[in-house]
Amino acid sequence: MVDKIDNIPAPQNGKNYRPNVAAIVLSAKYPEKCEVFIASRTDVDNAWQFPQGGIDKGETAKEALFRELEEEIGTNKIDIIAQYPQWVSYDFPPAIAKKMHPYDGQIQMYYLVKLKKGATININTQIPEFSEFKFVPTKNIYEYITFFKRTVYKQVLKYFKKEGFI
């Protein structure tokens, strides 16, 4: 599987995408109970999402995954269950694109991960990105997720479900 930042495919549409990693975090109760972590952003009203963040130059997607989880949810005590087999991308809506200049959107590698027993989530990190969080059944995710990420979330969750992980 593709893992190095240098191996991210170039977009075919001429847009500039920020290399990014995203985590679908299952609770430590998995597989007995399938609940997924979502959190509300501090900088966008009512924008719930999975933890995600940029991949630094020279960093692998897996290295970014562990770093971003520590930075955003205060723990990287996870087990990787599966990795989505390809990069996926989405465009920012115009208001967010202005803030994220020069990027038009993000190209992401998704990981399905499980919190290890005893792992504690703390969103009051050094630079808090989330104001609140919850674990929800996968069928309820779309009641919360911000509109411009729904297509990618549906694609990735459908794959993990088809493969028997969720």
**Which value, to the nearest 10 degrees, does the dihedral of the CA atoms of residues 40, 137, 68, 160 take?**
-140
What are the pLDDT tens digits along the chain (166 aa)? Answer: 444 555 677 766 789 999 999 999 999 999 999 999 999 999 888 889 999 999 998 899 999 999 999 999 999 999 999 999 999 999 999 888 888 889 999 999 999 999 999 999 999 998 999 999 999 999 999 999 988 999 999 999 999 999 999 9
Q: Which two tokens stand for residue 130?
A: 């989330």
Task: Give the pLDDT confidence score for residue 2 in this predicted structure.
Answer: 44
Task: Give the pLDDT confidence score for residue 5 in this predicted structure.
Answer: 57
CA nearest 36: which of 122, 134, 148, 116? Answer: 134
| Chain mean position to CA 28 | 18
Could you give the CA distance from residue 60 to residue 50 in angstroms, rounded to a whole number?
A: 19
Could you give the CA distance from residue 62 to residue 85 in angstroms, rounded to a whole number?
A: 14
Could you write out the DSSP letters of every residue in 86-125? S-EEEEPPHHHHHHTTT-SEEEEEEEEEEEPTT-------
Q: What pTM value is reported for the model?
A: 0.92
Q: Are 21 and 53 in contact (CB under 8 A)?
A: yes
Task: Give the pLDDT confidence score for residue 3 in this predicted structure.
Answer: 47
CATH code for the domain defined by 5-162 = 3.90.79.10
Task: Give the pLDDT confidence of 78-110 residue by residue, as tens digits.
Answer: 999 999 999 999 999 988 888 888 999 999 999
Domain ranges of the chain: 5-162
